[in-house]
Amino acid sequence: MSTRRILFFCMGNICRSPTAEGVMRARLAAAGLDVEVDSAGTHGYHVGEPPDERSQQHALKRGYDLGALRARRLEARDFERFDLVLGMDDDNLAHAARLCPPAQRHRLQLLMDYAPDAGSRHVPDPYYGGEAGFERVLDLVEAACDGLIATLRRR
Protein backbone atom coordinates (compact mmCIF):
# COMPACT_ATOMS: atom_id res chain seq x y z
CA MET A 1 0.00 0.00 0.00
CA SER A 2 1.34 3.41 -0.91
CA THR A 3 0.89 5.95 1.86
CA ARG A 4 0.14 9.39 0.47
CA ARG A 5 -2.04 10.83 3.25
CA ILE A 6 -1.68 10.58 7.05
CA LEU A 7 -4.05 11.91 9.70
CA PHE A 8 -3.11 12.22 13.37
CA PHE A 9 -5.81 12.52 16.02
CA CYS A 10 -6.26 13.08 19.74
CA MET A 11 -9.16 14.36 21.81
CA GLY A 12 -9.28 18.12 21.19
CA ASN A 13 -6.73 18.59 18.39
CA ILE A 14 -4.88 21.32 20.28
CA CYS A 15 -1.89 19.54 21.88
CA ARG A 16 -0.83 16.08 20.75
CA SER A 17 -2.17 15.69 17.22
CA PRO A 18 -1.15 19.15 15.95
CA THR A 19 2.29 18.51 17.46
CA ALA A 20 2.44 15.25 15.51
CA GLU A 21 1.28 17.04 12.36
CA GLY A 22 3.96 19.72 12.71
CA VAL A 23 6.75 17.28 13.51
CA MET A 24 5.77 14.96 10.67
CA ARG A 25 5.59 17.79 8.14
CA ALA A 26 9.12 18.86 9.05
CA ARG A 27 10.47 15.30 9.07
CA LEU A 28 8.87 14.53 5.69
CA ALA A 29 10.30 17.69 4.15
CA ALA A 30 13.77 16.82 5.46
CA ALA A 31 13.40 13.29 4.07
CA GLY A 32 12.19 14.54 0.69
CA LEU A 33 8.95 12.55 0.93
CA ASP A 34 5.70 13.84 -0.56
CA VAL A 35 2.96 12.86 1.90
CA GLU A 36 -0.08 14.94 2.90
CA VAL A 37 -0.44 15.36 6.67
CA ASP A 38 -3.36 16.63 8.75
CA SER A 39 -4.71 16.33 12.29
CA ALA A 40 -8.10 16.21 13.98
CA GLY A 41 -9.79 15.67 17.33
CA THR A 42 -12.32 13.06 18.35
CA HIS A 43 -14.26 15.80 20.16
CA GLY A 44 -15.28 19.21 18.88
CA TYR A 45 -14.30 21.25 21.96
CA HIS A 46 -11.78 23.46 20.14
CA VAL A 47 -12.84 23.51 16.48
CA GLY A 48 -11.27 26.45 14.69
CA GLU A 49 -8.79 27.23 17.48
CA PRO A 50 -5.00 27.21 17.13
CA PRO A 51 -2.93 24.67 19.07
CA ASP A 52 -2.50 25.25 22.78
CA GLU A 53 0.01 28.05 23.37
CA ARG A 54 2.23 25.73 25.43
CA SER A 55 2.34 23.18 22.61
CA GLN A 56 3.27 25.93 20.19
CA GLN A 57 6.01 27.30 22.45
CA HIS A 58 7.64 23.93 23.10
CA ALA A 59 7.40 22.90 19.45
CA LEU A 60 8.91 26.18 18.30
CA LYS A 61 11.93 25.62 20.57
CA ARG A 62 12.60 22.51 18.49
CA GLY A 63 11.96 24.22 15.17
CA TYR A 64 8.33 23.25 14.55
CA ASP A 65 5.89 26.08 13.83
CA LEU A 66 2.33 25.07 14.70
CA GLY A 67 0.88 28.58 14.50
CA ALA A 68 -1.06 28.16 11.27
CA LEU A 69 -2.82 24.95 12.34
CA ARG A 70 -6.46 24.98 13.42
CA ALA A 71 -8.41 22.33 15.29
CA ARG A 72 -11.05 20.32 13.51
CA ARG A 73 -13.16 17.30 14.39
CA LEU A 74 -12.52 13.80 13.08
CA GLU A 75 -15.15 12.78 10.52
CA ALA A 76 -16.18 9.43 9.05
CA ARG A 77 -15.00 10.54 5.61
CA ASP A 78 -11.46 10.93 6.98
CA PHE A 79 -11.13 7.14 6.91
CA GLU A 80 -11.74 7.17 3.16
CA ARG A 81 -9.47 10.15 2.52
CA PHE A 82 -6.41 9.13 4.57
CA ASP A 83 -4.26 6.02 4.16
CA LEU A 84 -3.22 6.03 7.82
CA VAL A 85 -5.28 7.41 10.70
CA LEU A 86 -3.07 7.47 13.79
CA GLY A 87 -4.35 8.01 17.31
CA MET A 88 -2.50 9.09 20.42
CA ASP A 89 -4.13 6.73 22.95
CA ASP A 90 -6.53 3.83 23.34
CA ASP A 91 -9.50 5.96 24.46
CA ASN A 92 -9.39 8.11 21.35
CA LEU A 93 -8.65 5.08 19.19
CA ALA A 94 -11.84 3.43 20.51
CA HIS A 95 -13.82 6.59 19.83
CA ALA A 96 -12.45 6.77 16.27
CA ALA A 97 -13.19 3.08 15.70
CA ARG A 98 -16.90 3.80 16.23
CA LEU A 99 -16.76 6.30 13.34
CA CYS A 100 -14.64 4.14 11.08
CA PRO A 101 -16.33 2.05 8.38
CA PRO A 102 -15.41 -1.63 8.81
CA ALA A 103 -13.72 -1.73 5.40
CA GLN A 104 -11.29 1.00 6.52
CA ARG A 105 -10.36 -0.35 9.99
CA HIS A 106 -6.92 -1.40 8.71
CA ARG A 107 -6.04 2.30 8.41
CA LEU A 108 -6.65 2.98 12.11
CA GLN A 109 -3.62 2.56 14.41
CA LEU A 110 -1.78 4.09 17.33
CA LEU A 111 1.04 6.48 16.47
CA MET A 112 3.33 4.86 19.01
CA ASP A 113 3.15 1.56 17.10
CA TYR A 114 5.90 3.17 15.03
CA ALA A 115 8.20 3.63 18.05
CA PRO A 116 8.03 0.33 19.94
CA ASP A 117 11.26 1.06 21.83
CA ALA A 118 10.14 4.48 23.11
CA GLY A 119 8.84 3.09 26.39
CA SER A 120 5.23 4.19 25.93
CA ARG A 121 2.30 2.79 23.99
CA HIS A 122 0.51 6.15 24.17
CA VAL A 123 1.28 9.83 23.79
CA PRO A 124 0.01 11.21 27.13
CA ASP A 125 -2.18 14.30 27.16
CA PRO A 126 -0.10 17.21 28.53
CA TYR A 127 -3.02 19.64 28.84
CA TYR A 128 -3.42 19.53 32.63
CA GLY A 129 0.23 18.94 33.41
CA GLY A 130 3.37 21.02 33.51
CA GLU A 131 6.13 21.91 31.09
CA ALA A 132 7.70 18.44 31.23
CA GLY A 133 4.55 16.93 29.72
CA PHE A 134 4.87 18.99 26.55
CA GLU A 135 8.52 17.99 26.21
CA ARG A 136 7.58 14.33 26.72
CA VAL A 137 4.97 14.64 23.95
CA LEU A 138 7.61 16.02 21.60
CA ASP A 139 10.09 13.26 22.50
CA LEU A 140 7.51 10.54 21.83
CA VAL A 141 6.13 12.13 18.68
CA GLU A 142 9.61 12.65 17.21
CA ALA A 143 10.50 9.00 17.85
CA ALA A 144 7.24 7.76 16.31
CA CYS A 145 7.50 10.06 13.28
CA ASP A 146 11.05 8.83 12.65
CA GLY A 147 9.78 5.25 12.84
CA LEU A 148 6.90 6.06 10.54
CA ILE A 149 9.23 7.63 7.98
CA ALA A 150 11.44 4.53 8.10
CA THR A 151 8.32 2.45 7.41
CA LEU A 152 7.29 4.71 4.52
CA ARG A 153 10.75 4.36 2.97
CA ARG A 154 10.49 0.55 3.11
CA ARG A 155 7.16 0.65 1.26
**DSSP character for 83?**
S
Known catalytic residue: 16? Answer: yes
Residues whose CB falls within 8 Å of the CB of residue 131, separated by 6 or more in sequence, listed in order: 54, 58
Q: Catalytic pick from 15, 16, 52, 54?
A: 16
Neighbours of 126 (CB within 10 A): 22
In whole angstroms, give the CA distance from residue 51 to residue 130.
Answer: 16
Q: Catalytic pick from 52, 78, 89, 125?
A: 125
Q: Are 57 and 80 in contact (CB under 8 A)?
A: no
Neighbours of 133 (CB within 10 A): 17
Q: Catalytic pick from 10, 15, 100, 145?
A: 10
Known catalytic residue: 125? Answer: yes
Known catalytic residue: 139? Answer: no
What are the catalytic residues?
10, 16, 125
